Amino acid sequence: MSTPVPPLRVALVNGSFEQPAVTGYEILPDASQTQAPKRVVGWLTTASDHMIELWRSGFNGVPAAEGAQFAELNANEVATLYQDLPTTPGSTLYWRLYHRGRLGQDTMALDIGAPGSPVEQRRFTDGNTAWGYYTGTYTVPEGQHTTRFAFRSVSAAGGNRGIGNFLDGIFFGTAPHLVLTKTAAPAGPLEVGDVITYRINARNEGGGNAENLVLKDTVPQGTTYLPGSLRVLDGPNTGAKSDAQGDDQAYYDAGADQVVFHLGDNASAAQGGSLPSTETLPAGTTVEYRVVIDRASGGRQIRNSATASYENRLGERPELLTAVSGEQVTEVGPAADLSVVKAADATTVTVGQTVTYRVTVINTGPNHATGVTVADPLPEGLVFLSAEAASGAYDPAAGQWAVGDLAEGAGVSLTLRAKATRPGPVTNTATVTGNEKDPGPAPDTDTVTVCVEAAPSCCDPCSPRT
CA–CA dist 27, 37 (Å, integer): 13
Q: Let me know if residue 199 belongs to a domain.
A: yes
Instruction: Decide the pairing of beta strands 25-29 and 301-304.
Output: unpaired
CA–CA dist 263, 133 (Å, integer): 28
Look up the domain containing 364 and give its range: 336-453
Q: Let me know if residue 82 belongs to a domain.
A: yes
Q: Spell out the residues 6+ positions from residue 85 whose beta carbon is closer than 8 angstroms to its own.
A: 10, 11, 12, 146, 147, 148, 149, 172, 173
Q: How many domains does the chain contain in total? A: 3
Instruction: Please say which residue of 281, 310, 331 terminates a domain.
Output: 331
Of residues 425, 397, 400, the one with CA closest to residue 414: 400
CA–CA dist 446, 452 (Å, integer): 20
Q: Which residues pair with 114 in a beta bridge?
A: 117
Do 36 and 147 share a domain, yes or no?
A: yes
Instruction: Please say which residue of 289, 309, 331 terminates a domain.
Output: 331
- Find the radius of gyration of the CA atoms of the chain: 40
> Residue 32: how many CB atoms within 10 A of its CB?
13
Instruction: Please say which residue of 331, 359, 379 terminates a domain.
Output: 331
Q: Let me know if residue 463 belongs to a domain.
A: no
| CA atoms 340, 346, 349, 355: torsion sign | negative
Helix or strand run (H / E) with residue 71: strand 69-72
Q: Please report the pLDDT score of residue 280 as a whole number.
A: 86
Do 159 and 41 share a domain, yes or no?
A: yes
Q: Please report the pLDDT score of residue 241 as a whole number.
A: 61
DSSP 278-297: TTT-TT-EEEEEEEEE-GGG
- What backbone torsions phi and psi does residue 257 show, to the nearest 5 degrees? 50, 55
CA distances from 56 to 60, 68, 103, 130, 164 (A): 9, 6, 17, 16, 15
CATH code for the domain of 158: 2.60.120.260
Q: Please report the pLDDT score of residue 466 as a whole number.
A: 45
CATH code for the domain of 429: 2.60.40.1530
Amino acid at 323: A
Q: Please report the pLDDT score of residue 166 as a whole number.
A: 97
Q: What's the distance, Cα to Cα, between the start and end of the chain in Å?
A: 115
Amino acid at 89: P
Do 310 and 351 share a domain, yes or no?
A: no
What is the b/e burial string over 79-101, where b = at least 16 CB atoms within 10 angstroms of the residue's CB? bbbbbebebbeebebbbbbbbbb
Give the strands of the sheet with 445-453, arranged side by side.
348-350, 445-453, 424-433, 369-375, 400-406, 393-395
Ordered per-residue pLDDT tens for the chain, 466 residues: 445 566 788 889 999 999 999 999 999 999 999 999 999 999 999 999 999 999 999 999 999 999 999 999 989 999 999 999 999 999 999 999 999 999 999 999 999 999 999 999 999 999 999 999 999 999 999 999 999 999 999 999 988 777 899 999 999 999 999 999 999 999 878 999 999 999 999 999 999 999 999 999 999 999 999 999 999 998 887 766 655 433 458 999 999 999 999 999 999 888 999 999 998 899 999 999 999 999 999 999 999 999 999 999 998 889 999 999 999 999 999 999 999 999 999 999 999 999 999 999 999 999 999 999 999 999 999 999 999 998 889 999 999 999 999 999 999 999 999 999 999 999 999 999 999 999 987 779 999 999 999 987 655 444 444 4
Taking the whole predicted model, whether its pTM rises above 0.75 is answered as yes
HSE value, Cβ hemisphere, 13 Å, CA-based, for 221? 3
CA distances from 345 to 52, 209, 357, 358 (A): 102, 77, 6, 8
Q: Please report the pLDDT score of residue 150 as a whole number.
A: 98
Do 158 and 228 share a domain, yes or no?
A: no
Is 69 in contact with 54 (CB distance < 8 Å)?
A: yes
Do 159 and 197 share a domain, yes or no?
A: no
